[in-house]
Structure 1
């Protein structure tokens, strides 16, 4: 169901009893579920993190700090031990113990979890006593703490009570108690959850930590229209916009009652293609799949005028790259890896001719319209560029609540996707996206379902290599193999300027993550 707000309707949706320090914020999309493992999507994770917590948290610069664990130690290459924070209670009053940690990791490994690959990489969790947990690994994990920082801790007793011991099967539209209810240990508690309308949180008076900000209540409202979000901010009906449109930034910067907080995001936006089916779905091509041919994939890459997308569509708020990874830190800023294939329309046309598709073909491109900056417009722009190769692209744009389950089922031929977050290491891009699809989340986001055994073996080796120099060399081989085969077409790393009312102070993190406990409203 779609909701389009007029300002009057928006004001009614945001109406609350009079009270100080209410943060009213908005973006184009909505959290997909309150089940913290069901959908691995940034806004969903961000909202859930106000409620649920990790053993190891991140500071304002994305460094690791104590969370529900007060200390930790790698006791051997294959074992980690954590001391848990005493006296912590879930929102329902039940105490937090090692049983909840073990339960959460095992729940996050279930088939319906979208962080199964990360939870599996943590090894076997073991309760030593109520406030001590060990993790025993079957192979070395070079980014163990990064993986741990993806698993929210849930209450074992609460999940069992509500028959939610496995994550919600979001792709198959399963209804589950955890989809609209939550019970964490975090700084805020869920009050009401109305999907696509409004999500309300209140401050947890019994939180173990110390809040830096003064927010007592949080009201999140999805507003799909860029113009309506802008008008709501300018009128003072909302305090914070996570995703102002790039074309509105100049106006916002010149508005005294508004602040723009700039920053790049750790996120790569890219194109994926079905490389598995013998006959391409949603296409005019019968009995064949043009995307199986690397020449077609390369031609589509070289037909993209990325500088025009950067300057005209993104208003400069993007960094084009040839490396499919959220941040150049992950590629060690290697120019050979980061280099794009050149925009060359004549070379692209020759590749299409050599592949037997000089006359092109028709195909549908699935695209979200409320997830990434200018997502639908990017797809429309790509379609116009590919038309020069006689590829007629029908853009099928939809809300992310429809889009993600569709691609999750591999019900797509051509699609736009984004990937990012707080982790700067390549591993958490490689295992979900680059590898062959397998068990326990491996290759879960390889939605083109390509099989590249050489690439798969290189990623698997890099995932367990303990020697930093050898691992760096393996990571470069992974990038070069992937780029050579054009398994995806990288576009750009998007920038994320935030916009607030002048009296609102926020901390901009490169994972595009708003921590409401750090927000101060004057």
Structure 2
């Protein structure tokens, strides 16, 4: 009889627990591409998987560095860092987290198919220094190493080997494996359900090592591509948190009375890239040569773009035009260099004529329509601007599901991209976006293959320079070379725009990462 009462009490407690479970509903204009934390170096991807997988070091609520799976890190020599690991941590399947998993993770992240090579590029070796300690040796002094480790999710060696997921999912080749749709991290939330392009469900990891700051038991993430539908879901209460907010709906949402709109500066820079490598430009009517190899053509494109009209009409003021590839909050930003080339269609036409294209030419342009704020509208405005100087842009705006694999293969002539330096340091952008690509990961997202040996030499110096004044001088010189070359065409830093029910409390970071562990939801 006593046993029956005990079982009944346990069942009632379980039922009450289920009844009291707190579910947070989140919507975004696009979906997370994979559950593999090394498959795509994109902020929505890393933000979402960052709730499931954890890095050695994380960003705190003020964007400072904080211990995560490493409790302490010290520099034992100019090129070696010792990381003491957190003990007692378990992956979601119950496997203990140890130094073997760290060594495995770095090998995986630097290997074939990984989109995270830019962070492992300076690393020479990762060595086990005990069950709960690793040494990371860099090829040269690398003072910002801790900053580079905040987005590299640690994976279970045992789980990856058992599930044949030793290599990352390769978005460029469309190669999938178990890590695409299953996950086994150490984070505060674990994966319950994955339906690509439909919904992804996370549930609380009750065995997480940290004291919980959230009451959220379940997160239902739903991609809603249509702006009007996404806003309607928010206003009706079907969605608790939405990102991004369509700029044209900000005032209407604010006026609803029960929704909070959070707006603030973002670290991301939106820019245009051009194929500067091929001898014959793809997707163009120009045969036998590549116009983008001529700096006069690149400068003509730059000066044809009416950035102020894009700011006021397309972005409704929620953008800061820029002449640099990093924003003001990024270490190494040079405020006196942030002066764009003047908008001047006549000067642009003259430059095209001097370059041998008096009647302009045709070129294909790739653009996402569900990744950045008003991304396809920006591309349409750019195309209209270029039409005024005789350039016919054949715009292909598409979902990021097909857009990213294409441009990451460099199967593009002219494209729009955004970049947030996760290190909050200029070196990240200089190395990942602007340096000449190599197999180790440098220039991995320099998709148009801009290349200048003097620039590359400066990036190497910036990477290892410990004197901050000299380092800043190198950064300044590198930006000047890139500006003179018009290696890319910077457009603006977009503004963050999140909206959430007044029942929700959350933390908005300038890198646009959304962490559920810092959210709470009040009862209705």
- Per the alignment, do residues 341 and 268 of structure 1 end up closer, same or farther by CA in structure 2, a change over 3 Å counting? same
Contact 2:120/2:441 (8 A) holds in 1: no
Q: Distance in 2 between matches of 1:322 and 1:333?
A: 10
Matches within 5 A, 1:77-116: 77-116=78-117
Partner of residue 434, structure 2: 434
Structure 2 residue matching 1:104: 3-state secondary structure: helix
Identify the residue that residue 410 of structure 2 maps to in structure 1.
410
Partner of 1:241: 242
**How far apart in 2 are the matches of 1:100 and 1:329?**
32
Residues 132-174 of structure 1: per-residue CA shift (max 9 Å, x gap): 1111222011210011223111001111111111111221111
CA contact (8 A) 2:259 2:501 kept: yes
Aligned residues of 2:91 and 2:156 also touching (Cα < 8 A): yes
Asked if 1:122 corresponds to 2:118, the answer is no
CA distance in 2, matches of 1:344, 1:277: 28
**Change in 2 beyond 3 A, CA 1:322/1:498:** same
In 2, Cα distance between equivalents of 1:265 and 1:334: 17
Question: For residue 12 of structure 2, what is the aligned residue in structure 1?
Answer: none
Structure-1 residue corresponding to 2:451? 451
Partner of 2:145: 144
Q: Structure 1 CA distance, aligned partners of 2:121 and 2:482?
A: 24
> Are the aligned partners of 2:433 and 2:443 in contact in 1 as well (CA < 8 Å)?
yes
Distance 1:312 1:117 in 2: 36
Would the aligned equivalents of 2:50 and 2:151 in 1 still touch at CA under 8 Å?
Answer: no
CA distance in 1, matches of 2:20, 2:177: 33
Tell me, yes or no, if structure 1 residue 70 matches structure 2 residue 71. Answer: yes
Cα distance in 2, alignment partners of residues 295 and 142 from structure 1: 38
Match for residue 295 of structure 1?
A: 296
SS in 1 for 2:451: coil
In angstroms, what is the RMSD of aligned CA positions? 1.2
Q: CA deviation at 1:403?
A: 0.6
Q: What is the CA-CA distance between 1:373 and the residue it aligns to?
A: 0.4
What's the CA shift for 1:420?
0.4
- CA–CA separation in structure 2 for the residues paired with 1:436 and 1:421: 18
The alignment status of 1:251 with 2:252, answered yes or no, reads yes
C-alpha distance in structure 2 between counterparts of 1:326 and 1:102, whole Å: 34
Cα distance, 1:122 vs. partner? 3.5
CA distance in 2, matches of 1:242, 1:454: 40
Residues 326 and 424, structure 1, Cα contact 8 Å, conserved in 2: no
Q: Report the secondary structure of 1:372's partner residue.
A: coil
CA distance in 1 between counterparts of 2:73 and 2:92 reads 25
Q: Which residue of 1 aligns with 2:36?
A: 35
Alignment of 1:236-385 (within 5 A): 236-336=237-337, 338-385=338-385
Higher mean alpha-carbon deviation, 352-361 vs 44-53, is at: 352-361
Report the secondary structure of 1:322's partner residue. coil
Contact persistence 1:283–1:362 (CA under 8 A) = yes
> How far apart in 1 are the matches of 2:330 and 2:277?
31
**The 10-residue stretch of structure 1 (226-235 or 324-333) with the greater mean CA deviation from structure 2:** 324-333
Corresponding residue SS for 1:57: strand
Q: Where do residues 383-402 of structure 1 align in structure 2 (5 Å cutoff)?
A: 383-402=383-402
Judge conservation of contact 1:118–1:148 (CA < 8 Å) in 2.
Answer: yes
Q: Does the CA-based 8 Å contact 2:366-2:416 persist in structure 1?
A: yes
TM-score scaled to structure 1, two decimals?
Answer: 0.95
Count of residue pairs the alignment pairs up = 505
Confirm or deny: 8 A CA contact 1:326 1:420 kept in the other structure: no
Q: Distance in 2 between matches of 1:283 and 1:326?
A: 33
| Counterpart contact for 1:62–1:422, Cα < 8 Å | no
Q: Residue 349 of structure 2: SS of its match in structure 1?
A: helix
Task: Return the alpha-carbon distance in structure 2 between the equivalents of residues 361 and 470 of structure 1.
Answer: 43
**How far apart are the structure 1 equivalents of 2:134 and 2:459?**
29
Distance 1:317 1:211 in 2: 34
Alpha carbons 2:322, 2:493 under 8 Å: kept: yes
Aligned ranges 1:19-34 → 2 under 5 Å: 20-34=21-35
What do residues 316-357 of structure 1 show as CA deviations (whole Å, max 9, x unaligned)? 110100001244533334312x11111112211111111111
**Is 1:469 equivalent to 2:456 in the alignment?**
no
CA–CA distance in structure 2, aligned partners of residues 350 and 466 of structure 1: 45
- Residue 4 of structure 1 is matched in structure 2 by none
In structure 2, the partner of 1:54 is 55
Instruction: Give the drift of 1:18.
Output: 6.2
Deviates more, 1:190-199 or 1:69-78: 69-78
What residue ranges of structure 2 are gaps of 5+ in the alignment? 1-17
Q: Deviations over 1:49-77 (max 9, x none)?
A: 11000111110111011111111211221
1:123 aligned counterpart, secondary structure: strand
1:304 touches 1:343 (CA, 8 Å); kept in 2? Answer: yes
**Partners of 2:301 and 2:331 in 1: CA distance:** 25
Deviations 1:452-482 (A, max 9, x none): 2222222122112222221111110110000
From the CA coordinates, give the structure whose radius of gyration is larger: 2
